[in-house]
């Protein structure tokens, strides 16, 4: 048996028996999909609430035709009595609409009718409802105007001089992906969390327990020892990522995303692509943790360093969230950033060039191997056996 | 056979070894005797291939430890002073791990492990995790993993340190047994009676240098003392 396999086998056995480390390694992959489900469900509820607008109206009896039209558009209208301004100011109502008494008479004479809309401009939470109501009134106005023009023998087109047409370049899938940006984040976090136990135990732990001296007296090369440990940690890390990925996708498929106009569908091919995109990260994360682990004098020491390291995946996430620029080729060469982008793009059903996978995998593995070589160098030092 | 010649090694300001020269012959028990901090462990670590001396040579069965540490390491079995064990592995897991690291064939490994478990009288603990083992039980695991590849040379760093009377005695019996098997044994100790009783050869180290070497009689003569302990103190304090 090759020494790398011997070390790998021992570290996997040791890792499997470490209940506490196993718990912390795989509790995250199990929690992430629950978080995804809860967050998406909450998002859908919020949207559904906005759709279900209730508009308080004073003088509801003065404009039966308008009220009927609003109800047709899924707007609930309730009769309101009392001080409209006070109700809005005290946040009892988002807005109040006042229909004047002479609505019908002026309408019949084709004279302009003023509807009062009482709202508080400083309240952003009421804004969607106000906007929606204004939009509906504009549409109602346009409808009536068109009818009046037709009645006078004029084509309604004379009113339409410049028309804005919305063209959203994001496909529906991509809009879903933007909302789903945190799935890549969770997968990347899993890479750092799931392999951590073995990465730290096999470096800082080995020094702390003083098992490193008897280990190094064996006639095998130091880099074989380091590579064996690296592979063991990487396997746990990759397992955690794949688990997170599959469970998150499963959780998403349980959320009724169509309700908010998102069409989320992940095929088996896409899952394979995402796994290919993320696996190099498991190797990279483990190599970073091992390097920190070998610097640390004790397990506790190592854990505090590595806690800070785990913030690292947040950087590309924040970068992409706050400066959502189009992906450029160089980004595929930056580990962590490239995985975040690749995952978002695959989830958004955007075509990703094959070279991007190559860049991403190569840069991740090369960086990981480099760090492992540095770790192996440190294993060569005499000071490694001293606590 | 183990041979070191004019070893010197400094760690920063501390000169751990100044001039260490000795030889441990085949089939003999050689004792490294010296006060704490005299350089016993450092000398042994040079022989394990873990510490590179600043000057001097170390040779095991004709292999230069500094030039080819892996080849030298395959000829030695070691009980280091830190008896670190993997708490989640069983005694047998430890033996197997070290056996595989030495490249022992899988088919032979189980038999060899069973032989050692019998030799060290540890059948009842062989398949238990070492977490919670007594000091004596831990020492047995360490001995077993040091012997799994049938090394022609054994080095033990204070093997009876911290052991109860029964286990210390078992270890001494094992050392005698290894000698009967024609193995070169080199062990360090600061216990005079242990060294006097077991060793064919004694090497006294003090302050990083060898101050005396020979049989108990030779050492007594060298110091002109009848008692080995008196001889030891005289030789050590002469520096």
Q: What is the ipTM of this complex?
A: 0.93
Q: What residues form DSSP beta bridges with B156?
A: B79, B187
For residue A70, what pLDDT band results from cuts at 50, 70 and 90? Answer: confident
Q: Which chain B residues contact residue A382 at CB under 8 A?
A: 50-52
Q: Does the beta-carbon distance from A209 to B101 stay under 8 Å?
A: no
Give residue A47's pLDDT: 64
Q: Which chain B residues contact residue A14 at CB under 8 A?
A: 86, 88-89
Q: Does the beta-carbon distance from A214 to B82 stay under 8 Å?
A: yes
Segment A49-60 shows an average pLDDT of: 78
Closest CA to A115 of A82, A141, A142, A149: A141
Q: Which chain A residues contact residue B73 at CB under 8 A?
A: 217-219
Question: How confident is the model over B34-48, as pLDDT tens digits?
Answer: 888 889 999 999 999
Segment A125-144 shows an average pLDDT of: 84
Rounded CA gap, A310 and A191, in Å?
9
Going by their DSSP bridges, the two strands B63-64 and B55-60 should be labelled as antiparallel
Give residue B167's pLDDT: 87
pLDDT higher than 70, residue A358: yes
For residue A323, what pLDDT band results from cuts at 50, 70 and 90? Answer: low
User: Which of A16, A197, A217, A380 to probe the B interface (max B CBs under 10 A)?
Assistant: A217
Q: Which chain A residues contact residue B51 at CB under 8 A?
A: 382
Give residue B7's pLDDT: 93
Q: Which chain A residues contact residue B97 at CB under 8 A?
A: 6, 10
Q: Does the beta-carbon distance from B86 to A6 stay under 8 Å?
A: no
Q: Does the beta-carbon distance from A14 to B80 stay under 8 Å?
A: no
Under 8 Å CB pairs connecting chains A and B tally to: 76
Give residue A285's pLDDT: 94
Work out the minimum CA distance from B109 to partner chain A, whole angstroms. Answer: 12
DSSP output for A332-383: GGSTTHHHHHHHHHHHTT----HHHHHHHHHHHHHHHHHHHHHHHHHHHSGG
Q: Does the beta-carbon distance from A213 to B84 stay under 8 Å?
A: yes
pLDDT higher than 70, residue A263: no
Give residue A387's pLDDT: 55
Segment A366-378 shows an average pLDDT of: 94
pLDDT higher than 70, residue A306: yes
Q: Which chain B residues contact residue A222 at CB under 8 A?
A: none
pLDDT higher than 60, residue B79: yes
Q: Is B31 within 8 Å of B203 (Cβ atoms)?
A: yes
pLDDT higher than 90, residue A13: yes
Q: Is A317 within 8 Å of A338 (Cβ atoms)?
A: no
Q: Does the beta-carbon distance from B51 to A382 stay under 8 Å?
A: yes
Segment A11-29 shows an average pLDDT of: 89
Work out the minimum CA distance from B219 to partner chain A, whole angstroms. Answer: 32
For residue A64, what pLDDT band results from cuts at 50, 70 and 90? Answer: confident
Q: Does the beta-carbon distance from B52 to A382 stay under 8 Å?
A: yes
For residue A260, what pLDDT band results from cuts at 50, 70 and 90? Answer: low
Out of B73, B85, B88, whose CB is closest to A217? B73
pLDDT higher than 60, residue B111: yes
Rounded CA gap, A25 and A8, in Å?
18
Segment A320-347 shows an average pLDDT of: 79
Rounded CA gap, A8 and A225, in Å?
8
Rounded CA gap, B60 and B42, in Å?
16
Q: Helix A337-347 vs helix A314-322: angle between axes, to the nearest 10 degrees?
A: 60
Segment A299-303 shows an average pLDDT of: 83
Q: What is the pTM of this model?
A: 0.80
Q: Does the beta-carbon distance from B101 to A14 stay under 8 Å?
A: no
Among A46-50, A143-147, A361-365, which is the least confidently predicted range?
A46-50
Q: Does the beta-carbon distance from B50 to A217 stay under 8 Å?
A: yes
For the ranges A256-270, B29-43, B58-72, the one whose mean pLDDT is highest: B58-72
Among A40-44, A142-146, A287-291, which is the least confidently predicted range?
A40-44
Residues contacting residue B126 through CB under 8 Å, at least 6 positions apart:
B90, B91, B92, B117
pLDDT higher than 80, residue A349: no
**Which H or E element spans position A97?**
strand A95-98
- Integer angstrom CA distances of residue A134 from A58, A122, B219: 17, 17, 108
Q: Which chain A residues contact residue B102 at CB under 8 A?
A: 218-219
Which residues of chain B approach chain A closer than 8 Å at the C-beta? 45, 48-52, 69-74, 76, 78, 80, 82-89, 93, 97-98, 100-103, 106, 129, 142, 145-146
Segment A201-225 shows an average pLDDT of: 92
Mean pLDDT taken over chain A? 84
Quote the percentage of chain B above a pLDDT of 90.
Answer: 69
Is the Cβ of A17 closer than 8 Å to some Cβ of chain B?
Answer: yes
Out of B74, B93, B97, whose CB is closest to A219? B74
Q: Does the beta-carbon distance from A217 to B49 stay under 8 Å?
A: yes
Put simply, the chain A residues between 187 and 246 with a CB less than 8 A from any chain B CB are 209-221
Nearest CA in chain B to A20: B88
Work out the minimum CA distance from B221 to partner chain A, whole angstroms. Answer: 38
């Amino acid at each position: 048996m090759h020494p790398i396999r011997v070390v790998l086998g021992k570290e996997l056995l040791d890792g499997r028996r470490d209940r506490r480390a196993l718990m912390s390694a795989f509790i995250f992959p199990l929690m992430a999909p629950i978080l995804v489900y809860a967050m998406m469900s909450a998002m859908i509820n919020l949207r559904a609430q906005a759709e279900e607008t209730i508009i308080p109206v004073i003088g509801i009896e003065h404009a039966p035709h308008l009220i009927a039209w609003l109800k047709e558009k899924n707007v609930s209208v309730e009769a309101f009595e009392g001080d409209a301004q006070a109700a809005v100011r005290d946040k009892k109502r988002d807005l109040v609409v006042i229909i004047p008494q002479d609505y019908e008479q002026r309408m019949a004479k084709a004279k302009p009718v003023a509807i009062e809309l009482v709202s508080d401009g400083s309240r952003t939470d009421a804004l969607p409802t106000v906007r929606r109501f204004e939009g509906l009134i504009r549409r109602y106005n346009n409808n009536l105007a068109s009818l009046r023009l037709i009645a006078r023998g004029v084509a309604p087109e004379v009113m339409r001089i410049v028309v804005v047409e919305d063209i959203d370049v994001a496909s529906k899938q991509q809009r879903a992906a933007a909302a789903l940006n945190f799935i890549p984040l969770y997968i990347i976090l899993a890479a750092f969390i799931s392999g951590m136990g073995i990465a730290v135990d096999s470096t800082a732990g080995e020094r702390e327990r003083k098992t490193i001296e008897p280990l190094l007296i064996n006639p095998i090369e130091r880099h074989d020892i380091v590579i064996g440990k690296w592979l063991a940690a990487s396997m746990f890390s990759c397992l955690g990522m794949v688990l997170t990925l599959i469970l998150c996708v499963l959780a998403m498929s349980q959320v009724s995303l169509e309700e908010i106009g998102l069409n989320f569908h992940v095929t088996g091919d896409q899952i394979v692509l995402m796994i290919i995109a993320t696996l190099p990260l498991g190797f990279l994360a483990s190599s970073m943790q091992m390097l920190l682990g070998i610097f640390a004098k004790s397990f506790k020491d190592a854990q505090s360093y590595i806690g800070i390291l785990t913030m690292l995946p947040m950087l590309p996430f924040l970068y992409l969230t706050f400066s959502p620029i189009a992906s450029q080729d160089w980004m595929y060469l930056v580990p962590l950033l490239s995985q975040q982008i690749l995952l978002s793009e695959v989830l958004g059903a955007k075509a990703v060039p094959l070279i991007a996978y190559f860049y991403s995998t190569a840069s991740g593995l090369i960086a990981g191997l480099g760090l492992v070589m540095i770790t192996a160098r440190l294993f060569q030092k005499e000071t490694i056996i001293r606590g | 056979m183990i041979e070191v010649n004019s070893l010197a090694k400094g760690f920063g300001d501390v000169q751990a070894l100044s001039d260490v020269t000795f030889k441990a012959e085949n089939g003999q028990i050689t004792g490294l005797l010296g006060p704490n901090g005299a350089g016993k462990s450092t000398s042994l670590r040079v022989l394990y291939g873990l510490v590179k001396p600043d000057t001097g040579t170390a040779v095991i069965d004709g292999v230069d430890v500094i030039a080819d540490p892996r080849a030298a390491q395959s000829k030695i079995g070691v009980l280091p002073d830190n008896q670190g064990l993997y708490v989640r592995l069983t005694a047998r897991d430890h033996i197997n791990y070290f056996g595989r690291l030495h490249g022992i064939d899988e088919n032979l490994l189980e038999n060899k492990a069973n032989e050692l478990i019998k030799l060290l009288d540890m059948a009842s603990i062989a398949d238990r995790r070492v977490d919670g083992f007594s000091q004596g039980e831990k020492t047995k695991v360490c001995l077993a993993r040091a012997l799994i590849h049938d090394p022609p040379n054994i080095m033990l760093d204070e093997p009876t340190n911290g052991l109860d009377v029964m286990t210390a005695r078992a270890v001494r019996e094992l050392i005698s047994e290894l000698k009967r098997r024609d193995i070169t044994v080199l062990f360090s100790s600061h216990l005079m009676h242990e060294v006097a009783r077991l060793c064919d050869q004694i090497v006294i180290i003090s302050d990083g240098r060898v101050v005396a070497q020979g049989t108990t009689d030779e050492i007594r003569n060298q110091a002109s003392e009848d008692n080995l302990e008196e001889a030891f103190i005289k030789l050590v304090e002469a520096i």
